[in-house]
Amino acid sequence: MKYLAALYFFCLLCIPYFPRLDSIDIIGAHWFYLSALNLVYFLVLFNKNPFQTIATYKDLPVFFLYLLFLFLVFISLFYSNNLNVSLVDLARIFSIFLTVIYTLLFLPYVKLQYLLITFLSTLIIDLFFIYYYVVEYFTVNTFSIVSFQSIYTESLFRGFSGNKNIMAAFICMKFPISLYYFFKSKSHISILYFPFFILFFITIFLLNSRATFLSLSAVLFLTLLYYFFDSRKKLFHTFLIIASLSLSFYIFTFILFYNSPDVSIVSEVNSIQLNAKSSNHRFLLWDNALNYIFENPFFGSGIGNWKIESAPYWKTELSDFIVPYHAHNDFLELSTELGVLGGLVYFSIFIFIFYVSIKSILKFDLKSSYNLLILSFFIIYFVDAFLNFPLERTIIQLNFALFFSLFLFNHRFQANE
């Protein structure tokens, strides 16, 4: 079984790097690969009845909430405005559910340390893909700061995701693992993380994703606050984090504003406005979703149907031919599709995870740093779910399935102590 487990996790982590199969949107290929992997393992493990895993975790409240969410998704088929669209989204959500089940089934057969390190190592691959096109460009053209400024756009660093916000969230969700091992390392070893942190922070600045800025700031603040109050104070580690962040910010601003005396980072920050236009019309999208929820509080449009139901709201803003695909808030979007109950159940999953994780962290015992790792991931995911649509993106859902399984596995172990 341990070889099946190792192969499953290896294939799972490789999905983001598989060919896109000439698909217009790469998520089509990603969902296909994930579904195929789960189908193969379902056939291989058919006689072992992997769904016995459900019975093992059914007593955990957060797992019950997750099952209730899945049930509400299935029930929405009976009142769906467009059944074909709902079946597509149901298949995707069920595929993630299978991923959670298989991850829980295989976790006892792998060493957690090896799994986390392997997962962290893929972050190096992600950074390679992000800079690949830039390096390729400058192998033909002479590199200079001025020439870089002339070609720079955030989308240039989108990597294999097709969208800079998705790529930023994807790599940001892996970053807490590096923080976990960084603070576990001795001072002379921690210095080795310094160049990696600089590269990572510069990449985040270049991607310029506001959701990532917000979530990463929260995670760094929480991490530094934890080690400030922890008895094992990590002052040197804290200094390295602050130093790498400061140096990265300086390098980023120097590269982008070099030879531009009329532009400064201060003016750029001051130019940020909190309005619908600067937020890519998110306020309007949220207002439209809320209006629909007030009109349909009990039964929504059916899972996946908001992309259709949003058209009458949005056509007054642009045209009949351009409509938003998502509400840019998974909690509101699910409420339009499953009703208020469905949105609250999904929201409650994260509230419960936050509560349990924070309660465990405040014990300041040997397991607190691991609970901090899990909490950090869900903070990043929660912020992304509040501002974007991670439920739609396969590579983000792979991260969710892994960390949700790690939380369940850890929570069950602590509950039995």
* 274 within a domain of the structure (yes/no): no
Which residues span the domain enclosing 139?
121-268
In a domain, 210, yes or no: yes
Burial letters 117-147, b for 16+ CB under 10 A, else e:
eebbebbeebbebbbeebeeeeeeeeeeeee
Whether 380 maps to a domain, the answer reads no
3-state secondary structure of 319: strand
Nearest to 204, CA basis, from 145, 244, 264, 261: 244
What's the pLDDT score for residue 276?
A: 47
Asked if residue 365 is part of any domain, the answer here is no
pLDDT tens, position by position, 255-269: 887 666 554 445 544
How is residue 12 written in tokens? 């799972």
Q: Is 177 helix (H, G, I), strand (E, B) or coil?
A: helix
- 203-251, pLDDT tens digit by residue? 999 998 889 999 999 999 999 999 988 877 789 999 999 999 999 999 9
- Reported pTM: 0.92
CA atoms in the 13 A half-sphere facing the CB of 59: 7
> Is 147 contained in some domain?
yes
Q: Report the number of distinct structural domains present in the chain.
A: 1
**What pLDDT digit, counting tens, does each position of 25-82 carry?**
788 899 999 999 999 998 888 777 667 788 888 889 999 999 999 999 999 999 999 9
Residue 158 within a domain: yes
Q: Please indicate, yes or no, if residue 166 is contained in any of the structural domains.
A: yes
Instruction: Retrieve residue 287's tokens.
Output: 């207002």
The number of angstroms, rounded, from the C-alpha of 356 to the middle of its chain's C-alpha atoms is 20
Q: Can you tell me the distance from the alpha carbon of 198 to that of 195, in angstroms, rounded to the nearest whole number?
A: 5
Q: Is residue 169 part of a domain?
A: yes
